Structure 1
Amino acid sequence: MPIINKLSAKSVEHLKSTGKAIRKSDGGGLYIYVKPNQTKFWEFRYTRPTNKNKACIGLGSVTDVSLADARSKAQEMRRLLIDGIDPQVHREKEKLKQLQKQFDTFKALAQQWKSTKDGHLKPKTISDNWRKLENYVFPTLGSIPIKEITAPIAIQVLRPVEAQGKLEMVKRCGQLMNEVMNYAVNSGLIHFNPLVGINKVFRKPKVTHLRAMEPDDIKELMQAIASANIYFGTRCLIEWQLHTMVRPAEAAGTKWCELDIEKAVWVIPPERMKMNREHKVPLTKQAIAILKAVKPLSGHLEHVFPSRYKYRQATDSETINKALGRMGLRNKTTAHGFRSLASTTLNEKGFHPEAVDAALAHVEPNKIRAAYKRTTYFKKRKKIMQWWSDHISKHAVGPYQVFDCKNLSAASAQRQ
């Protein structure tokens, strides 16, 4: 058996170089190496088990690693050699494992998952989802390796959010966490998603249906719009969304380049639509009148309804909801509720249901049926849209019945 522990702490301390590097053995492959400048390092020298070549591996400086610690490390390496494992190769593999852990953390995988959403989700949706993870998930879960994440860990991340009463946020964060874990499964990093079903342990958010007026409430809505003390551009935007039946974000983001007034059509490109599919909106006489009324305000800009404070940007999609709140309609309807009002009214009047759905840019959920049903009912929709605009105009009151095409100059004169 080889002699080991030849050195002592005192001899290590007093050992000095005499003009050239020296090396002293502690036995069992452990050496202290002293450079000419008197800096001292531990080494483990051994014979590789694979090819019998001589090899050396550093264990750190004497100032950082004590004699006892150096002996402990040397003992570990002798055990590896007994099992036929090259200590140097083993160390490199461990370094790679640690490095891989840094790349396989929840946040790192979430970043990869996020990149797969480009082109499939709207940039705002991607940004909003990422912000939720940044605010509620990453501070606790972000640096944990994906392989170490369990349901109890994830649940504890969301408990404080639940305690704040943000139940809808808990639900959404749980869904996003599951998406990231499913991505990890599909990437081959883990064998299964341990977070499936975690949302079931939290309190459920109350289901609240979107507020919308009934068909008989159209007059009340038009009276509120007529008497409201609001910015002229906002008034036009409210009427524009009401007449065109589009979603709030689609209305707020209207661009002049999308409009063909001569052909009376508005073509919304796929990237601005919820389902990433182009949508053509027939423009009624009233809708065109709104465009003519607002053109002096924004005709020289990109957006029909620019922000009042950043005129190069479109107005916020919440502009109408804020205005409705100031008009006292907060608890009666929302901007999205305009679509429900139109849908209910048109269906009650007996218009073709599928043509009404097409006007609202609803997509057939059955993919097989959708593949065969390629018509957009554009001709039917022209009649439907004009009837809807006439119906709105019939209930309009005050000077802002402008948009029934009678008093365009009156609206321009009363801009606020």
Structure 2
Amino acid sequence: MITKDSQVKSLKPKEKRYTNAAGDGLFLDVMPTGKKSWTVAYSKNGKRTRTKIGTYPVLSLKDARVLAQDIQRQALLGYSDILMKDLVKEWLSVYSPNWSSEKYEKNVIHRLELVTERIADVKANEVTRSMISDEIGLIVGRGTIETANRCLRLIKTVFDYAVAKEYVETNPCTLVSKMIPARKVVNMASLPISEMPKFWTALNYMDMAYETKQAIALYNYLACRPSELVKARWDTGEFDLDKGVWIIPKHRMKMRLEHMIPLTEKPLQILRDLYDRRIDDEFVFKKKSKPWEHMPTETPLAAVKRAAGNGKMTTHGFRSLLSTNANEAKLADGTRMFHEDIIERHLAHVPHNKGRAAYNRAKYWNDRVRLMEWWAAIVTPWIEPES
């Protein structure tokens, strides 16, 4: 039986999963991959149940015992006794170990606190729809519509978990979305294509770091999201400069899905030059004052705003520029040059009505290569007007 944390650490994987008891209904499963997971056994309505509560080393032996005892106590007293603050804590302990971003976890905790701060000590099964509506209403009242939507989606997920665990009978978040006013969609500022030569003329005459200008050029060529580019690294193997492919890791993608972007001749030239100039194999674009950190998204954004005129163009606007013009492009016979699904897939827009599991990072690949070649032919004369 496991009695010390050092014993947990020393356990080695075998060909098949095996389990070690840690006392008082707590068990540790060791997978062939080396992953170690805590489970707790308890009785409910006379039926023996086992539930996964977390992984090691995220949960130490001591922490796992505390959580296991709490779950067993709740089973003994009745699930209806769990308080909102404890429900949120349990939900976080189950799901947060799978999150790759510390910033994302902080955002989730903050949004849940916005909804639950005043009802933290209320029993979960006593939380009513009106209580949730009151909390969401306060957020809406501050004018933060998108925050209200995100907070509601999160707390609804927490209550879905509570329903599955039989802590509550129904989800009190149902229909609360009806009280949130529709958010007016404001597209990121983007110059029309007719003004892009003038924009690049102004940009080429501006005094800026070489890397900043190259980042802006890649935004224009590739139409990627700003953070996806400035956080790119050489040492992760995401760039295959021989095959002309950039594979963006899922933790940097908005939809948490790995994404592939074709690299045509001009973007490849830029990246190869940056690779030859690199001082290490970490970030492609570095912060000038702290080269061990990535370039802030605000650095190329500030240059774009100066060249275009504040409020007329953003780094995100290059995505709108590609989308607008690719959707309007026609062949000689008047038919569309690119189907909207090709454009949307290149922009990594995953329809909500199509399951994430069905996402294929390389779908429409040949068509997307053609899209990037067509777009590069349009963009290059702006960036290199004398070529």
Q: TM-score w.r.t. structure 2 length?
A: 0.66
Matched, 1:140 2:118: yes
Q: Which residue of 2 aligns with 1:344?
A: 324
Per-residue CA deviation, residues 100-126 of structure 1 (Å, 9 max, x unaligned), is 84xx22232223333336547865444
Query: What is the CA distance between 1:319 and its match in structure 2?
Result: 4.3
Alignment coverage as a number of residue pairs: 305
Does the 8 Å CA contact 1:161/1:170 hold for their aligned counterparts?
yes
Q: Which residue of 2 aligns with 1:167?
A: 145
Residues 10-409 of structure 1: matches in 2 within 5 Å? 97=77, 101=81, 104-114=82-92, 115-116=94-95, 119=98, 124-134=103-113, 136-256=114-234, 257-295=237-275, 298-350=278-330, 351-353=337-339, 354-363=341-350, 367=354, 376-396=363-383, 401=384
Q: Which residue of 1 aligns with 2:28?
A: none
Query: What is the CA distance between 1:259 and its match in structure 2?
Result: 1.6
Query: What is the CA distance between 1:204 and its match in structure 2?
Result: 4.8
What CA distance in whole angstroms lies between the structure 2 residues aligned with 1:304 and 1:323? 18
SS of residue matched to 2:311: coil
What CA distance in whole angstroms lies between the structure 1 residues aligned with 2:78 and 2:363? 56
Distance 1:301 1:356, change over 3 A: same
Distance 1:121 1:362, change over 3 A: farther
Q: Which residue of 1 aligns with 2:24?
A: none
Per-residue CA deviation, residues 187-214 of structure 1 (Å, 9 max, x unaligned), is 2111112232234335554432333333
Per-residue CA deviation, residues 225-264 of structure 1 (Å, 9 max, x unaligned), is 3244443322221111221222222212212232222222
Per-residue CA deviation, residues 159-208 of structure 1 (Å, 9 max, x unaligned), is 44344333332332233222222221122111112232234335554432
SS of residue matched to 1:281: strand
What CA distance in whole angstroms lies between the structure 1 residues aligned with 2:182 and 2:100? 26
Letter of the 1:132 counterpart: R
Letter of the 1:300 counterpart: D
Per-residue CA deviation, residues 110-167 of structure 1 (Å, 9 max, x unaligned), is 2333333654786544432222233x23432333321222233333334443443333
Larger-Rg structure: 1
Distance 1:129 1:223, change over 3 A: farther
What CA distance in whole angstroms lies between the structure 1 residues aligned with 2:308 and 2:369? 33
Does the 8 Å CA contact 2:233/2:284 hold for their aligned counterparts?
yes
Query: What is the CA distance between 1:292 and its match in structure 2?
Result: 3.8
Q: Which residue of 2 aligns with 1:63?
A: none
Does the 8 Å CA contact 1:339/1:360 hold for their aligned counterparts?
yes
SS of residue matched to 1:267: strand
Query: What is the CA distance between 1:329 and its match in structure 2?
Result: 4.3
Q: Which residue of 2 aligns with 1:25?
A: none
What CA distance in whole angstroms lies between the structure 2 residues aligned with 1:318 and 1:138? 33
Distance 1:153 1:378, change over 3 A: closer
What CA distance in whole angstroms lies between the structure 2 residues aligned with 1:185 and 1:99? 10
Distance 1:175 1:99, change over 3 A: closer
SS of residue matched to 1:116: helix
RMSD across aligned C-alpha pairs, in angstroms? 3.7
Query: Structure 1 vs Structure 2: percent identity of aligned residues?
Result: 28
Distance 1:323 1:141, change over 3 A: farther
Unaligned runs of 5+ in 1: 1-92, 407-416
Does the 8 Å CA contact 1:252/1:317 hold for their aligned counterparts?
yes
Segment of structure 1 superposing worse, 180-189 or 145-154: 145-154
What CA distance in whole angstroms lies between the structure 2 residues aligned with 1:266 and 1:382? 12
Distance 1:352 1:206, change over 3 A: closer
Distance 1:271 1:197, change over 3 A: same
Unaligned runs of 5+ in 2: 1-72, 331-336
Per-residue CA deviation, residues 272-315 of structure 1 (Å, 9 max, x unaligned), is 33344433322222212322443465441411112334422333
Q: TM-score w.r.t. structure 1 length?
A: 0.62
Query: What is the CA distance between 1:374 and its match in structure 2?
Result: 8.9
Distance 1:316 1:379, change over 3 A: same
SS of residue matched to 2:260: strand
Q: Which residue of 2 aligns with 1:411?
A: none
Letter of the 1:376 counterpart: K
